[in-house]
Amino acid sequence: MSRADRFTGKSVIVTGAAQGIGRGVALAVAAEGGQVLAVDRSVVVDEVVAEIVAAGGSAASFQADLETFAGASAMVSEAVTRFGRVDVLINNVGGTIWAKPFEHYEEAQIEAEIRRSLFPTLWSCRAALPVMIRQQGGTIVNVSSVATRGVHRVPYSAAKGGVNALTASIAMEATRHGIRVNATAPGGTEAPPRRIPRNAAQPSPDEVSWYQGVVDQTIDSSLMHRYGTVDEQVAPILFFASDESSYITGSVLPVGGGDLG
């Protein structure tokens, strides 16, 4: 099988597929022959599927709130109904909602950050595992972050630390069923402006300064002293999702220009 056909005949769920890295992953998997279920809670995901189909690929969209187990279960059921199986699950939902020193976070904001950046991956893995166990095979790729060591994002850092832990622990349990579980940990990534912002509120002067602190720390921590591109994040995700990584499981790969998190 050539590199361009790594996902031919495979059913692939991509979450957070409407924008950014998730969109790039969905387009790339489809271009390599995969049947893609592009999942997001935004209707924008329909445009991604339309782009895939226009290019001759195979894809369907599904809207779900993956912060709930019901949403994750519905997503997996949709993939099985459409494609008959789930070969690959790529968990891409998550992202900082607020950037501020920890003492400035409100209780509700802390809970919202954890719900946003931990639970979609946790629930999606839980929903997909019974299907993959019945198949006696499957691949899960979680998208974590090098921000497990980072300023002004403590709740997000904690959530992504949880993603790293569940990646390792599920891998230990699932290997006997032929299931591999790995994660990439992106660093700062240049992406087009979000069409659906995580936080639509106008930032205060303090919030602007605090976010600049995140940017400065990200660049300073990276040996390359720059942000990455979406394509530079997509490539290692596809490697873990493909059979090229058949002897790797339970691993978290930093993709942050030398920032190890």
Question: What is the set of active-site residues?
Answer: 156
How far apart CA 232 and CA 212 sit, in angstroms, is: 23
How far apart CA 93 and CA 25 sit, in angstroms, is: 12
Q: What is the dihedral of CA 110, 20, 171, 251, to 10 degrees?
A: -100
How far apart CA 160 and CA 156 sit, in angstroms, is: 6
Q: How many CA atoms lie within 13 A of 30 on its CB side?
A: 26
Task: Read off the amino acid at residue 41.
Answer: R
Nearest to 184 by CA among 157, 146, 128, 139: 146
Burial 35-63 (b: 16+ CB within 10 A, else e): bbbbbbbeebbbebbebbeeeebbbbbbb
Only one residue has tokens 């990439």, namely 184
Measured in residues, the chain has a length of 261
